Structure 1
Amino acid sequence: MIRNSILALFILRLFVLPSLLTAQDAGGVKFENKPLKEILDIAKARNKLVFVDCYTTWCGPCRKMANEVFPQKMLGDYMNHAFVSVKIDMEKGEGIGLVKQWDINSYPTYLVLDADGNEKFRMLGYFEPQALIDTLNVKLRNDTPSVLEQRYEAGERTPELIREYIAELSRVNRLNRVETVAEEFCNRRPETLLSDEEAFDIFCTYITNPDNPSFLYVYKHRSEFISKYGAQIGEMLEDRWRMYAKSFYLTDVGTDEFKGYDKLKMDEYENFMKQNGVSKAAEYTMMYKLPASIIMNDKELLFKNLEQSATMAGISQSQFDYACSTLEKSLTEKSEREQLEKIKELRKQLNNSVK
C-alpha cells in the first residue's frame, strides 16, 4: 500500500504537476514584482509600454480582476506581448506617493505609461478579458487624451479644447488635473468671462474655490454677471462661499471620524469673506461651527456659538434647538442655565421680528 502511494505521488510529480505549472506559466498576465523605476528600465530595454494596475485590498472589482480576468490565457497572450505589467497597492509602499502623483481617485484604475513614466492614457473599473483587449487597442490607436494634452501643452486655449480636454480627464477621474486646467483657463483673463458664454460655463462648472482669482473677479463684478446671466448666478456665488466653510472640518486621519473644526482657519476664512464684501460671512461659517461645536464637547465654545447664532436668521430653528438641548444636559451651575435662557430669549426675539 505504501509502495503504491509513493508510486502515485511520483507519477503526480512527474507528469501532472509540471503540466499544471506549464499552464500557469503560459496563461494569464505576468505582473513583475519590482519597484516602478525597475519596471520602466525593463520596458525601455524591451521597447514596450507599461501597464499599471492601481488597486487596493478592499476594492471588490480589483479582486475580481485579479482572480478571474488577469489569469485568463487570452489576455495574457495579448498583454505579455505588448506591455511590462505591474500591480501597485495604492495604500502601501510607493503607492502612497504615486496615488497623489497620478491623481488616482477610484479603483481599479489602469495606467498605460511609456518607458519614461509619462502617462499615455488610463482606464477605470472592471473589464471582461475581451473588453479589456478591445479597449486597449482603441486607446493605443487613438491615444485621445495625449493628443488633447499635446494641444493644451502647445498653448491652445480655446473653450472648445478646454471643454473637450476636461471631459476626457473627468471620464478617467483625473480630478486634480481637471481643477488645474479649469483654473488656469479662467484665471488667464477673467474679464472675458462676461462676454464669452462658453468660457463662463466652464467657470460655473469647475471653479468652486472662493480663493481662486477668477472667482474673486466674478464676485467683485457680480452685478454685471447677474445682469447678463441671471439672478441664479448670485445665488451660486453665495452658495460657494458658504459651502467652502465645510473644508475646515477636521477628521481623524486613521478612522476618518469627524472631530470638529479648525477654529483658527474658520475665523480666518470668515475674515477673508468679509474683506471681499460677503455680507453673510459670519452666518455662513456659523452654519458649520454650530453643529461641529456639539461634537467637540467644548461647553465654552458651544455657548459662544449659540449666543452668536441666536440672532442669525440663516441658522435653522431645529439646529438651534438641538444645540440648546445638547448644551442643557451638561449644565450644572445656575448661572450657566440662566445664560442659556438669555440666549433662548434672543432667539425668540429674532423669530418674533421675522414674523
Structure 2
Amino acid sequence: MNQSFKTLSLAAILGVCFFAAARAQEGIRFNSQGEFKAVLAESQKTGKLIFMDCYTSWCAPCKWMEKNVFVNDSVAAFFNARFVNYKMDMEKGEGPVLNKRYGVKVYPTYLFLNGKGEVVHKATSRMEADAFMDQARKALDPKRSFTALEKKFNEGDRSNAVLLEYAIALQHFNRQKADSVAQLLIAQLQDKELLTEIGWKTIQQFTWSETERLGAWFLQHRDAYAKKFGEEPVKKMQERLTSSALYGLIRKKDSVAFFTRLAPWKQSSDQDLQRRAFQMEAEYYLTSGNIAGFVQLTNDALKGLMKDDDQGLSFIARRSSYMAGKDKLVLAQAYKMAKRAAEINPEEYSNQSTYAKASQEMGYKEEALKAAEKSYQLALKETSKIQGLAQKLIDEIKAM
C-alpha cells in the first residue's frame, strides 16, 4: 500500500470517527418545529411510536433532563433508533391544544403515542438515564405499558404483578388512586411472598413507616433481604424508615427517644449519615425552639463536619431562614452557613441566591446586592422562571 493511499485511508477513518462522535453528542434528535399531524404521519409511515417530551420554558427539571439525560449516548442511540422524537413547549404554538387533549398537568411529562395519537405509555418528572430508559422499554412492551396495565386492571386483573406495576405508574399522575391500588396489593400479599422480587419492590415503593406491616416485616427480616437483594438497597430502605421515625419524634418533641435513635447516625463512620444526623438535629432544635442548641450545633458543624459541604450548608441555611421568623440568632446562623456555602462553590446559583437572601434578612444591603447580582448571572444559564426570581430578589434588595 503506497503512502498516499495510507494517508487517504487514515483521513477517511478519522472522518468517520469524527462524524460518529458528533452524531453521538447530538443526543436525542427531536422534531421541535413540525406540526403534530406531520409527526403522526411519520409514526404511521415508519411504524415507530412517538416519544413526546412535554415541557415549558420555566421548568427546571425539563432543563436538567436536556442537559443530563437526553444527551446521554446510550439514551440517544436507543430513542433515535426506536421512536419518532417530538418536543413541545406546552404553552406555545400547538402546545395548549395538545395540553388539553392529553391532560398534561406536570412538567416534564413524557408521552409515548401511536400513529393515531393514542397514549400507549406515559411518565413524568426528572429521572436518571437508567430509569428513563426503563420507561421507554415499558412503552415498547405490550405487557408493561401504562395503557396495557390500565386495561388489565379495568378488566379485573388483580394479580400481584399487575397491581404493583400499575400502582407504580399511577404515582406520576394520580397519587390517590396509586395509594388505593397499592393498598389492594399490600392487603393480598402473603408473608411468604414478601421475600420475593415483587414483595421487595412493593416494600421499596410503598413503605415509609416501621410501624406498618411491611415496614415491621422488613426490619424483622433485614438480613434475609440483604442476602437476597444486596446490602446497599437494604441499607437505604432502613435509613428511610429511621428518617420517618425521627421526624415523628421531632413532631412529638420526645427528646430522649429522638437522641437515642439519632445516636447511631452521629457515631457512624459514614460521613453521609453524620451529615443527615446533623440536619435532623438542626430540625429538632428549630422545631422545639432550642435556639442555643441550634447555634452550638451549627457553629461546631461550620468548623468540622459541614465546613466543605456547600449543598448541605445551603440547605440548612434556607431551612433555618424559613423557620426563624424574626429570631436574629437563627438568622445570623443562616447567614454564616449561606456565606460559607457561597465561598465553597461561588458558581452555584442556589448558593448565591441563598447567600443574597440571608444577607438581606440581616440587613446587609451591599453584600446582599452583590450576591443577588451574581445569582442573576448564574440564572441566565437556567430557566426564565429562575431568572425572574433572581431579578425579583435584586429589586427587593435595591428597595431596602
Q: TM-score range by the shorter chain?
A: 0.3 to 0.5
Q: Which has the larger radius of gyration?
A: 1
